[in-house]
């Protein structure tokens, strides 16, 4: 009897790995019936990760979007699965336990069947509550392993994680090969050991196609006993996304597996609608580089989905780096030179930082440190001169246990900075908070929503939700689309701001990300000139993609002058304010 291989369409992740935005709710509802008509999918990835933040940025209600998107799949008997980040829930930073618990109840009530839960550090302690809360809510708990390739990420290492999450009650295991750098034969051996020890456990493989190895990996894990394969489809398959279902179906059929047939007429309809969404407005936010594969990712291990943002980061500092090199009579760097330099710097510092798997958000942390190291080195400074607070939390153990040992110089740097290492359970750092959000809902006379889903949305994405409720998000999004269309009509792209960190006076502070400025809790006024601030105090927020990041003062002082306005776009390296 032939071994059956089932397919899951990662329609949400197709978009997230390609550009900034995903389809609107009405577009998702339009394409869903044709995905069903394709007849080849047992599962659909429907929400989680950044999905709901995107709806808020549009000014759309994410809860009604999820309910309407999953409804036709529920009716057709196709399982739906979400992606969540354990300690970080469906955002980029840690979530209180009571908010995490509510999330699973809300998602189950909205029609989501399976919770795919991953910890970017593979710390089983962060996954324990995800497994517990998912099962408590009546969902299938699928614990995901963040796959990477390093001396410490062995089959035995991952089997240790598998043993613990199954002990907690996980129903399934997913191999989340987010950069596509898992070596095929090694992945096959991991699946064989999982199946040998736990024959009743379903195994699903999720592999990005960026460096080109995931097709071979799919064949290897299928032969080793995997049950489900995540696939994509044109016009967004391949590149930094996932292999196309047509190719994978043909490979599996030839290898002797029982695979479903594909309704190609429906495939072409979904393909056509997806292209319509791209032509409508989503294409303005897709970096062309994400449509290509590159074997350079094998060495750096960076996930394909962040290549677009990485290139934007490099553009932001390119001019400043060359200015510094020119001033020292050194040869300037091309963009390709800078890419290779960044990849090499990531390879150099990754072991020093304890080999965190390069998946959200830790891939961003490592990449940012690498980029700032390059900036420091060309200016005659030492590595690790600039480390942001989130990266420090990772280094100090507040996000979980690092897979490998920190380099002695990193430990010494923490000591000099007066920072303490944390060995407790990460969740204990983040006390329950739902009562505070209930109070805010009551004060604003906001409805809690069906199954408390609006309360959940505020608690999970508080700043984005406030902007959604006030109408700021919708206004901002429409303006952004209009600007992109105008740029396209002129055949131009916005120029990088000339204000550069590398040339900023010592009295200024700067934040390293490109993004849009926001104030604390959505207040209308930015910090005023003359305001006294302390080192480490939050002075504003930057929105990078779908996430808000804190901007903290790097010294005690008095604000002399603001260099940005609320809602203004800024580039990597722009100074934001000056101190007296």
Q: What is the pLDDT of residues 63-116, one digit of tens each?
A: 999 999 999 999 999 999 999 999 999 998 899 999 999 999 999 999 999 999
Q: Are 195 and 316 in a shared domain?
A: no
Q: Are 251 and 341 in a shared domain?
A: no
Boundary residue ending a domain (397, 428, 459): 428
Q: At 505, phi and psi to the nearest 5?
A: -70, 155
Residue 418 is part of which domain span?
296-428
Boundary residue ending a domain (257, 290, 323): 290
In the predicted model, is pLDDT for residue 274 greater than 80?
A: yes
Q: What is the pLDDT of residue 492?
A: 61
Between CA 431 and CA 32 the distance in angstroms is 39
Residue 130 lies in a domain: yes
**Bridge partner residues of 176 (DSSP):** 146, 206
CATH of the domain at 520: 2.40.50.100
**Bridge partner residues of 48 (DSSP):** 83
- pTM of the shown model: 0.84
Q: Are 94 and 223 in a shared domain?
A: yes
Q: Are 223 and 309 in a shared domain?
A: no
In the predicted model, is pLDDT for residue 502 greater than 70?
A: no
Residue 478 lies in a domain: no
The pLDDT confidence band at residue 545, using thresholds 50, 70 and 90, is low
How many C-beta atoms lie closer than 10 Å to residue 543's C-beta?
A: 21
Q: Are 270 and 372 in a shared domain?
A: no
Q: What is the pLDDT of residue 76?
A: 98
Boundary residue ending a domain (364, 393, 428): 428
Q: Are 258 and 305 in a shared domain?
A: no
Residue 454 lies in a domain: no
Residue 89 lies in a domain: yes
Q: Are 139 and 271 in a shared domain?
A: yes
Site of tokens 């999970």: 460
Q: Are 302 and 273 in a shared domain?
A: no
CATH of the domain at 189: 3.20.20.70
**Bridge partner residues of 116 (DSSP):** 83, 142
Q: For residue 104, which of 154, 70, 138 has the smallest C-alpha distance?
A: 138
Residue 556 falls in which region: left (phi positive, over 0), alpha (psi -120 to 50) or beta: beta
Give Dmax (Cα) for the chain: 77
In the predicted model, is pLDDT for residue 240 greater than 70?
A: yes
Kindly report, residue by residue over 313-326, the tens digit of the pLDDT. 777 678 778 888 88
Q: For residue 89, which of 323, 434, 333 has the smallest C-alpha distance?
A: 434
Q: Mean pLDDT in the chain?
A: 88
Between CA 245 and CA 231 the distance in angstroms is 5
In the predicted model, is pLDDT for residue 523 greater than 90?
A: no
Between CA 364 and CA 353 the distance in angstroms is 13
In the predicted model, is pLDDT for residue 564 greater than 80?
A: no
Q: For residue 34, which of 268, 260, 228, 237 has the smallest C-alpha distance?
A: 268
Look at strands 515-518 and 508-510 and give their pairing.
Answer: unpaired
Residue 186 falls in which region: left (phi positive, over 0), alpha (psi -120 to 50) or beta: alpha
Residue 467 lies in a domain: no
In the predicted model, is pLDDT for residue 525 greater than 70?
A: no
Q: Are 281 and 413 in a shared domain?
A: no
How many C-beta atoms lie closer than 10 Å to residue 296's C-beta?
A: 14
Its sign, for the CA torsion 153, 157, 159, 162, is negative
Which position has the higher pLDDT, 214 or 381?
214
**What total of structural domains would you count in the chain?**
3
Kindly report, residue by residue over 445-472, the tens digit of the pLDDT. 999 999 999 999 999 999 999 999 999 9
Is the Cβ–Cβ distance between 31 and 69 less than 8 Å? Answer: no
> Cα dist. 343→324, 338, 372, 387 in Å?
21, 9, 13, 18
Does the bond joining 278 to the residue before it have cis omega, within 30 degrees of 0? no
Q: Are 254 and 160 in a shared domain?
A: yes
Its sign, for the CA torsion 147, 153, 157, 159, is positive
């Amino acid at each position: 009897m032939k071994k059956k291989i089932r397919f899951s369409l990662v329609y949400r992740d197709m978009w997230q790995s390609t550009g900034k935005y995903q389809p609107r709710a009405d577009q998702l509802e339009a394409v869903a019936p044709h995905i069903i008509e394709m007849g080849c999918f047992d599962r659909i990835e429907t929400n989680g990760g950044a999905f709901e933040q995107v709806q808020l940025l549009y000014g759309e209600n994410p809860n009604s979007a999820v309910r309407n998107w999953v409804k036709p799949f529920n009716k057709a008997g196709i399982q739906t699965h979400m992606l969540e980040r354990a300690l970080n829930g469906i955002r980029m930073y840690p979530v209180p336990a009571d908010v995490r618990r509510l999330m699973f109840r809300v998602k189950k009530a909205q029609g989501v069947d399976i919770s795919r839960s991953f910890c970017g550090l593979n710390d089983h302690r962060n996954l324990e509550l995800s497994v517990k809360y998912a099962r408590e809510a009546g969902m299938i708990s699928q614990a995901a392993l963040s796959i990477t390739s390093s001396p410490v990420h062995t089959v035995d290492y991952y089997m240790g994680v598998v043993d613990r999450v199954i002990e907690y009650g996980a129903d399934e295991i997913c191999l989340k090969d987010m950069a596509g750098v898992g070596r095929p034969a090694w992945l096959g051996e991991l699946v064989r050991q999982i199946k040998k020890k736990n024959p009743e456990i379903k195994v699903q493989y999720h592999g990005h196609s960026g460096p080109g190895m995931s097709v071979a990996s799919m064949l290897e894990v299928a032969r080793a006993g995997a049950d489900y394969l995540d696939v994509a489809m044109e016009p967004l398959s391949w590149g930094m996304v996932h292999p196309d279902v047509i190719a994978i179906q043909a490979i599996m059929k030839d290898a002797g597996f029982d695979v479903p047939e594909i309704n190609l007429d429906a495939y072409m309809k979904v393909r056509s609608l997806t292209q319509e969404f791209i032509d409508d407005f989503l294409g303005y936010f897709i970096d062309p580089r994400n449509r290509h594969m590159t074997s350079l990712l094998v060495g750096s291990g960076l996930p394909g989905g962040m290549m677009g943002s990485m290139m934007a980061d490099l553009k932001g500092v390119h001019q400043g780096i060359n200015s510094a090199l020119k001033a020292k009579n050194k040869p300037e760097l091309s963009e390709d030179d800078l890419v290779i330099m960044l990849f090499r710097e990531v390879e150099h510092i990754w072991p020093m930082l304890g080999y965190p798997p390069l998946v959200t958000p830790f891939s961003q942390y490592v990449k940012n440190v690498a980029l700032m190291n390059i900036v420091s080195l060309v200016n005659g400074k030492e590595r690790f001169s600039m480390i942001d607070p989130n990266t420090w939390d990772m280094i100090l153990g507040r996000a979980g246990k690092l897979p490998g040992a920190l380099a002695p110089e990193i430990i010494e740097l923490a000591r000099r900075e007066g920072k303490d290492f944390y060995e407790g359970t990460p969740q204990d750092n983040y006390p329950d908070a739902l009562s505070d959000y209930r109070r805010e809902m009551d004060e604003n006379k906001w409805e809690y929503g069906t199954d408390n889903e609006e309360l959940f949305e505020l608690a999970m994405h508080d700043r984005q939700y406030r902007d959604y409720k006030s109408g700021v998000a919708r206004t901002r999004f429409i303006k952004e689309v209009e600007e992109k269309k105008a740029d396209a009509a002129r055949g131009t792209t916005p120029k990088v701001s000339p204000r550069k960190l590398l040339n900023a006076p010592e009295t200024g502070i700067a934040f390293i990300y490109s993004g849009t400025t926001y104030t604390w809790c959505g207040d209308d006024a930015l910090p005023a000139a003359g305001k006294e601030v302390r080192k480490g105090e939050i002075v504003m927020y930057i929105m990078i993609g779908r996430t808000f990041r804190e901007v903290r003062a790097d010294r005690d002082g008095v604000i002399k002058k603001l260099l940005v306005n609320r809602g203004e776009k800024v580039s990597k390296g722009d100074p934001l304010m000056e101190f007296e």
